[in-house]
Chains A and B, each alone.
Chain A
């Protein structure tokens, strides 16, 4: 072998090694889902504890999904979850961009203090405030309502900060030009600035949607009637209903998981981008 051939051969070997490592780690990370899926497709007569483990069911049956669907009111839960998530997304986008815009582009007394106060809220996790937050919600008459789930989480420091950073990068000339044309402050914000921060808005929307779709603790505390339950609450309540029938529980989990995965696969570039932006600036 010539040295050049040897080098090419080494390169190919290294590349193969990289792919093997990536696939091995990926298999470990995704194995819990694969096993859930395998379990959900097993027939009543199949031994769930068979040794060696059966990764591909024989026969593949879909009946567990029908059973899960008939026991939990999935359409209602999906509607509730979707409604809560979408409403939160729009409220968050509007309120965080409005606040972030003022903090980025307007000069006023107390601006620095407010910015630091907003950032400081990230040091106090939701769990610490759980009980007084429930009491406020109770006093406002919002317990057991959509509004009770949405309003307390509609504004957050992450959103305000993300929008502020995005607005900060826009050149001031654009604003001056609009002002000379006679635009008012709100028009400048809504018509000129918002369209320029679409990527940040998309990031915030994607994060908020997934966070609300998956949220568990706050809906658990604030929603009492089953008619208002979200998917996660319904799914968590299943464990008692089905006893130990892991086929149904697995099927129900797959049903609850699929919309999240589909949404994530469609919007994944916003996730990585937003995270990176948040981390670097901190």
Chain B
């Protein structure tokens, strides 16, 4: 089909994309393929790789720590994603007002997003200190706060204890206070990001819709429930997908605040992979765990599409 077009002209587009694609091939495609290859080997960087077949995967499935860390990661996403959807939507409703100075509020709200995870982690570690600000404020209500980042008691069990119920059942032991405290930091840091996505959605809703509802006598909540929320369904899909991938790859919060402790209760897959690769030099095993994380991410992305995408079709 390209006959008659000079070579130079046919080659031009490829010359344009070559530098960018070369970097992507070197630093994305090759490492991705290498992950598969490495996952089938035992390798510690200093000695040549040894073929071990599927041993690394077998090892993962038999590794209690792997299951602990995977459970943590799922619990973490289960806390962070719904909270982000709700909190960022509420923030967006709040800053969608057309009143004087609203831009200042939007900018101020966004500051946690542009804060580095190191600074954010340090700030929150300080707030969570057992004699820190949060516990000082709680003391004002006569509540003795826990040691937030080190407490392995389950959040449900602790809440039930607080209202005077003693529970021993394992059902109330997850997620633990330390993991929930780490999740809180992610929610704080990421919610204004999704707020901006929701804000774009809110501003795309035709004002006539809300006006018509108001004329019909609908109150604030009915408008939100029956007009706003259905209208921004596609944005909820985007938010939940990005938030899920974000939650499953959390690293900095763990590195800066807890190093995965206590007893691996805040150890998440991305941090586990990092320690396997760079602390224990278990490169092959780390690659296998990386692939399992990738599978997890893809499964959740598909579920998100199915759930949110299916609703949008109606």
User: Contacts A22-B97, A121-B28, A235-B122 given; 5 further ones with Cβ under 8 A?
Assistant: A123-B297, A128-B291, A153-B27, A257-B116, A271-B110
B162 interface hit (Cβ, 8 Å): no
Which 8 pairs show the lowest CB-CB distances between chains A and B?
A: A99-B20, A276-B200, A102-B16, A214-B116, A132-B31, A108-B13, A132-B34, A106-B13
Chain B residue nearest to A206 in the complex (CB)? B114
A256 interface hit (Cβ, 8 Å): yes
Q: Which of B20, B102, B120, B301 has the most CB of A within 10 A?
A: B20
Q: Are A130 and B273 in contact (CB under 8 A)?
A: yes
A66 interface hit (Cβ, 8 Å): no
Binds A, one of B55-63, B143-151, B163-171, B245-253: B245-253
Q: Are A18 and B283 in contact (CB under 8 A)?
A: no
Binds A, one of B76-84, B132-140, B174-182, B208-216: B132-140
Q: Are B116 and A213 in contact (CB under 8 A)?
A: yes
Q: Mark A137-158, 1 if CB is under 8 A from B, else 0.
A: 0101000000000011111000
Q: Are B114 and A261 in contact (CB under 8 A)?
A: yes
A83 interface hit (Cβ, 8 Å): no
Chain B residue nearest to A159 in the complex (CB)? B20
A77 to B188, CA, bound (A): 27
Q: Mark A40-83, 1 if CB is under 8 A from B, else 0.
A: 00000000010111000000000000000000000000000000
Q: Are A51 and B111 in contact (CB under 8 A)?
A: no
Which residue of the partner chain, among B31, B91, B94, contacts A133 with CB atoms under 8 Å? B31
Q: Which residues of A contact B245 (CB under 8 A)?
A: 123, 125
B17 interface hit (Cβ, 8 Å): yes
Chain A residue nearest to B246 in the complex (CB)? A125
Kindly provide the distance from the CB of B276 to the nearest chain A CB, expressed in whole angstroms.
8
Q: Which residues of A contact B120 (CB under 8 A)?
A: 32
Kindly provide the distance from the CB of B300 to the nearest chain A CB, expressed in whole angstroms.
11
A218 to B105, CA, bound (A): 32
A123 to B94, CA, bound (A): 31
Which residue of the partner chain, among A39, A111, A129, contacts B31 with CB atoms under 8 Å? A129
Q: Are A131 and B286 in contact (CB under 8 A)?
A: yes
Beyond A21-B94, A51-B139, A53-B136, is A253–B114 a contact (Cβ under 8 Å)?
A: no
Q: Are B192 and A29 in contact (CB under 8 A)?
A: yes
Q: Are B109 and A25 in contact (CB under 8 A)?
A: yes
B240 interface hit (Cβ, 8 Å): no
Q: Which residues of A contact B127 (CB under 8 A)?
A: 32, 35
Q: Which residues of B contact A31 (CB under 8 A)?
A: 133
Which residue of the partner chain, among B19, B35, B273, contacts A98 with CB atoms under 8 Å? B19
Interface set, chain A 82-110, CB cutoff 8 A to B: 95-96, 98-99, 101-103, 106-109
Which residue of the partner chain, among B97, B131, B301, contacts A123 with CB atoms under 8 Å? B301
A240 to B31, CA, bound (A): 33
A63 to B284, CA, bound (A): 49
Q: Which residues of B contact A19 (CB under 8 A)?
A: 99
A29 to B95, CA, bound (A): 14
Q: Which residues of A contact B111 (CB under 8 A)?
A: 29-30, 33, 261, 264
